[in-house]
Amino acid sequence: MRDAVTAYIALGANLGQAMQAVRDALRELGELPETKLVRHSSLYRTAPVASGGPDYINAVAEVSTALTAPQLLDHLQALEQQAGRERPYPNAPRTLDLDLLLFGSARIASARLQVPHPRMYQRAFVLVPLAEIAPALVSPAQLQGVAGQAVSPLPAG
């Protein structure tokens, strides 16, 4: 078995029972093979970025996994499919969106996967929850760069 790697995954949904979809996905991340859910952020409500539709429910999870990055991506996409994810056009509203943000210190640039996620530093809905659980990974300047994007923490429960 490979050594475990720390990976960060952004979760979001804005169709159907979005809050429940994110909560279910958080639980399911911990059930993936060779993967342990280490911690996750609070849930946040955010306005859609570069798209329409209802507000999103977002979170970020930290996992420890012995899967490779492509294997982890396969599992994330399978969870999206189980949640009814469709991709009719870029940035379409979605029942569940799971993005692999960081995979240890790896830099991956393939047709299928880019790590670090290419737009993560432009999105408050990623940086704010990531900073909550891994503050060393997000600089004050990066947070300041997305300060104009509304991100509202939701009450626990």
The strand pair at 35-40 and 5-13 is best described as: unpaired
CA–CA separation, 145 and 133 (whole Å): 19
Exactly one of 99, 107, 119, 123 is catalytic; name it: 99
Q: Which stretches within the chain are classed as H helix?
A: 18-29, 69-82, 124-133, 140-145
Exactly one of 23, 24, 55, 97 is catalytic; name it: 97
The question of whether 85 is a catalytic residue gets the answer yes
CA–CA separation, 72 and 15 (whole Å): 24
Q: Are 64 and 36 in contact (CB under 8 A)?
A: yes
Is the bond preceding 116 in cis, omega lying within 30 degrees of 0? Answer: yes
Exactly one of 23, 24, 45, 85 is catalytic; name it: 85
The question of whether 94 is a catalytic residue gets the answer yes
Q: Are 117 and 107 in contact (CB under 8 A)?
A: no
Exactly one of 23, 24, 94, 112 is catalytic; name it: 94
CA–CA separation, 148 and 146 (whole Å): 5
- As annotated, the active-site residues are 85, 94, 97, 99
